[in-house]
Structure 1
Amino acid sequence: MLTERPLITPSQKPKVLIVGAGLCGLTLGILLEKAGVPYDIYERMTQVKPLGSALSLGPNVAPLFIQMGIYDEFIKLGKMCFRMDNYNDNRELEFSKDFTPMNEHGVQIQFSDNSTAEGDILVEADGAYSGVREQPYSWGTFPCENNIYCWGVIQYLGKETSKEHDSFRNLEWGPDAAQAMCKDVRDFAILGGVNGDLTIGDLIENSPLISKVMLEEKVFETWYHGRTVLMGDAAHKDAAALANWIGVLSSTSIEDTEEVFEEYRNERLPVAKAAFASAQALLKLRTTIRHS
C-alpha cells in the first residue's frame, strides 16, 4: 500500500522515479545527481547492448555537455560529419522494468515483475508514439572522418499504417526488427559508386549492425497529471529544464508539485511547438527540392 510521504524540509529533496533509461532519462539522472536530488532510474530492457544506431548532435547541446562534465570525452569519441545528403521518393511500399503508475500523497510504480518503488515525483521518459508525415520514405547518408559512412532510412506512418506497427513499438530495438525493412529499401539510390549506381543495399551489405527504431514526432498538450510528468520524446526532450524546476521544489505536496510542472510546461511547450513546426517546414523544403 502506498504510504503517505511527509512534506520535505529545506534540507530535503523530493524522491524522483525515472521510467526510461534513454538519453533523456539518463541526462535527467546526471543533473539530479549534481543537484543533490535523490532518484532511481528504471528500464524495461534486459541488458545494455549495441544497436547500430548513430546520433547526430548539434552545437546546441554543447553547454549541457559542459555542465554535465562529459563534453571533452564526447569530442574525443565523436566523429565529425562532412556533409549530409538527403533523399525522398513517393513510394508505396534497474533493467526489465515495465510499469503501472499510481499516485496520491506520493507516487508508487508497480512493475511487471511485481516489484514496486516509491517516491515523490514520477518522470515518464520512455517515449510516445509516432505521428504522421506525407512522404512514405526518406533517406540520408552522412560521410564522416576516418572513412566512416553513416546512413538511415525513415518510413513515415499514417494513422492506419501506424497501427500495423504497434507490435514493433513494444519490441526491443535491434537488428532482427530491421531485416524486413532492409529488403524494402535496398534499391533506394544514393550518390556514389563507379557508375553512379550506389544504393542503400550496398550500405546494408557493408554495415556490421543495423537497427530499426520508432521515432516520435507529436507535441502533446498535456505534459503532467498529479505527480507524473512527461519528458523525452513524449514532451520534446529537455531534461535540463525539468531538473531545474524539480530543484526548486520546497515541499512534496501535490499542489506545489503540479505548480512546478505547469511552469515547466509553460516554459518549454512554445519551444517544442516551434521546433516541431521547423522540422515540418524542413521536410516540405526537402520534398520540393527533390521533386522540382
Structure 2
Amino acid sequence: MSDTSPPVLAGVAAESTKPYVLIVGAGLGGLMMGILLERAGIPYDIFERAAKVKPLGALMSISENILPAFEQLGLLEAIEKIALPLKLFSVYKESMEHLGDYYSGRKAKTGYDSLLFPRPKLYELMLKQIPAERLHFSKKVLSTEQKPEGVLIRCADNTTYRGDILVGADGAYSGVRQSLYKQLSAEGKLPVEDGKDLEMGYVCMVGTTDPQDPEKYPMFKDDHTKIMQVAGENSPYTWTTICVAENRICWSVVSQLPSVRAAQDERFRNSEWGPETNEAMIKEIYNFPTVMGGKLGDLIDATPRDLISKVFLEEKMFQTWYHGRAALLGDAVHKMLPTAGQGAVNAMQDAVVLTNCIYHMPSVTPDNITAAFKAYQEHRYPHAKMQFDISRANGKIMSGQTWSERLIRAIVLNYIPQRVLDRSIKGANYRPQISFLPEAKMRGIVPVLPQMTFPTRTENITTSTAVAV
C-alpha cells in the first residue's frame, strides 16, 4: 500500500461474513495476531507507526506457555534453530563471588525447554509469515472513532481506514488505548486506576553483540546456555550476559531507581531519549566486570551503537481491555517487568485467545463482537495478572538493590531447595492453543488446563471488501 494511492481494503462486513480487523502495532503481539488471522482466513491489515523495523532488543525466552501454539503453526522447529535451551541461572557479586544457582528443570516437568535467543531473531521469523501487502509502515494513528456500522482509524498521513474490529497492539503508551479511554472517561465509565500513569522502578539498557570468537568465549561450544547475572555491590546496577546462537552475546544492565520522585524526574528528563543519553550510561557501566571474562565495555564495543536501546522498565495492569468494537492486547493492557520473560509471551497468548474468540463469532454484529471481547478478557485476565505479579516479585529478587531485596536474593539462591523452586513454576499448566488448527500434543508431567471451548461453526462464511475511506 502506498500513502498516495491506498489499495482496496476489506471494509465493513455484513451479517454472517468474516470481520475485517485493523491491527495497530507491529510488535510481537501484533504480528502474532496477523499470523493467526492469516491462517484463519480472516481479512486484516497491520498499521505500524515506524518507517521500518529496527531490530532492537536483547534476550528473549519462551517455553511451554506459548510453544504449543508455535508448534501448531509449524514454526517450532524454526524457533529451535535460532535458540539455545537454558540450563542454569547463576548470580555473582561484583567481586565475582558466587552467590548461587538456579537449575532449569522445565523440560522434565513441562516437556519443553526454556528457549533463549535474541529477540530480533523471533521478530524476523514472524515477520516472514505476514504477506507484505498486509503490513503498512509509517502509519501513525492519530485518532479512532467508533460508529454503529464500524470503526475508523485516522493516520498522520491523512489516510483513514474503516473496519469491523480494531485491535490495539501498540505498546505501553498505546494510542488506541488513549483514544478508547478518552471516550470512556467522557462517559464516566473509566475506572480511576486506569487513568493513572504506569509505575516505573528501573531503567534498562540492552544489546546483542555481533558474532564473537568461541576461543575467547568457550561457552559457545556448549549445546545449551546459561544466564550469568552480576549484582552491583556499591551501585544500583545489576547486569546480565547470555551466550546465544550464532556466537552472539545478549547483555543487559538494569538500574533501580531509588524512589517514586526519582522515577518521575527520570521520566521528565528522558521523555525522548536519544544517542547522547545512551552514551552517558555507557560511560558509567563500561568497566563493569563480567562472569565470562573481561568487562562489559568489550560487549558494548562489539554491539552496533544504533542497536543499543535504553528503556524504562514500567508496569501496570489495566482493568479495561475493550470497548465497543475495539480491544487491546499485550503491553497496552498489561505492561510487565521483563524479569520473568513474560511480557511478549503474554502478548502472544492474548493474540491466540482473542483470535479464537473472533473466529468463533457466529456473525459480525455489535453484540457478537462485545461477547467475543468479554470472553477474551474473562479468560485472559487472571492468567495475565498472575504473570504480572510474578514479574514484579522476580524484579525485586533479581534486580532489587535495597537491603531487604539483597537478603531475599541470597535466601532464594542459597537456602531454598531446588525441588521447592521446581514446584514453584507457576503458569506451566496454562498453554492456550489455536482452536481452529489441530492441537499440539500435551507434553511433560504437569497437568494442563483445559482449552477454551466454542460452539461448532456450521454457516458458510464469505468475505466482503470495500475501499479505504
Shorter chain as denominator, the TM-score bin is 0.7 to 0.9
**Structure 2 CA distance for aligned equivalents of residues 280 and 52 of structure 1:** 20
Structure 2, gaps ≥5 residues long: 1-10, 95-135, 174-197, 204-235, 335-346, 399-404, 412-469
1:245 aligns with 2:335: no
Q: CA, structure 1 residues 203+85, in 2 after alignment: closer, same or farther (shift >3 Å)?
A: farther
How far apart, CA to CA, are the structure 1 residues paired with 2:393 and 2:246?
Answer: 33
Check whether the contact 1:101–1:107 (CA below 8 A) recurs between aligned residues.
Answer: yes
In the alignment, the residues of structure 2 paired with residue 177 and residue 46 of structure 1 have an alpha-carbon distance, to the nearest angstrom, of 23
Is 1:95 the counterpart of 2:137? The answer is yes
Q: Indicate conservation of the 8 Å contact 2:83/2:244, yes or no.
A: no
Question: How many angstroms does 1:64 deviate by?
Answer: 1.3
- In structure 1, how many angstroms separate the alpha carbons of the residues matched to 2:93 and 2:27? 29
Residue identity matched to 1:239: A
Task: State the partner residue of 1:152.
Answer: 252
Give the equivalent residue in structure 1 for 2:394.
282
2:15 corresponds in structure 1 to 8
Distance 1:247 1:87, change over 3 A: farther
Provide the residue aligned with 2:76 in structure 1.
Answer: 71
Taking structure 2 as the reference length, the TM-score comes to: 0.53
Offset at 1:141?
1.4
Deviation of the 1:71 alpha carbon:
1.3
Moved more, 72-81 or 15-24: 72-81
Deviation, 1:179, is 3.2
Q: Secondary structure at the match of 1:151?
A: strand
Correspondence for 1:58 among 51, 56, 63: 63
1:190 alignment partner, SS class: coil
State whether residues 143 and 150 of structure 1, in contact with CA within 8 Å, keep that contact through their aligned partners in structure 2: yes
- Of all paired residues, the percent bearing the same amino acid is 42
Candidates 306, 321, 326, aligned match of 1:223: 321
Q: Distance in 2 between matches of 1:134 and 1:177?
A: 15
- Residues 131-210 of structure 1: pairs in structure 2 closer than 5 A: 131-133=199-201, 137-144=237-244, 147-156=247-256, 158=260, 159-160=263-264, 161-168=266-273, 178-193=278-293, 198-208=294-304, 209-210=307-308
Change (3 A) 1:186 1:213: same
> Hey, which of these two has a bigger chunk of strand by percent?
2
Whole-Å separation in 1 of the counterparts to 2:279 and 2:296? 13
Secondary structure at the aligned position of 1:44 is classed as: coil
Q: Cα gap change, 1:25/1:273 in structure 2, threshold over 3 Å: closer, same or farther?
A: same
Structure 1 residues 82, 128: closer, same or farther in 2, change over 3 A? same
* Inter-CA distance 253–145: structure 2 relative to 1 (3 Å threshold): closer
Aligned partner of 2:374: which letter?
A: E
The answer to whether the Cα contact below 8 Å between 2:12 and 2:19 also exists between their aligned partners in 1 is no
Q: Deviations over 1:197-217 (max 9, x none)?
A: x43223212223423345552
Q: Say whether the 8 Å CA contact 1:7–1:252 is kept in structure 2.
A: yes
Count of aligned positions: 274
Deviation at 1:275, TM superposition (A): 0.4
Q: Deviations over 1:19-61 (max 9, x none)?
A: 0011010100111111111111010111234335332223322
What is the distance in 2 between the residues matched to 1:38 and 1:263? 21
Which whole-Å CA distance do the structure 2 matches of 1:244 and 1:83 have between them? 36
The one-character-per-residue Cα deviations of 1:147-176 (angstroms, maximum 9, x if unpaired) are 4321112345645133433324xx8xxx77
Residue aligned with 2:396, SS: helix
Write the distance in 2 (CA, Å) between the matches of 1:145 and 1:45: 28
SS in structure 2 of the partner of residue 101 of structure 1: strand
Give the direction of change, closer, same or farther, for the CA distance of 1:49–1:278 in structure 2 (3 Å limit).
closer
Distance (whole Å) between structure 2 residues aligned to residue 46 and residue 176 of structure 1: 22
What's the TM-score, normalizing by structure 1?
0.82
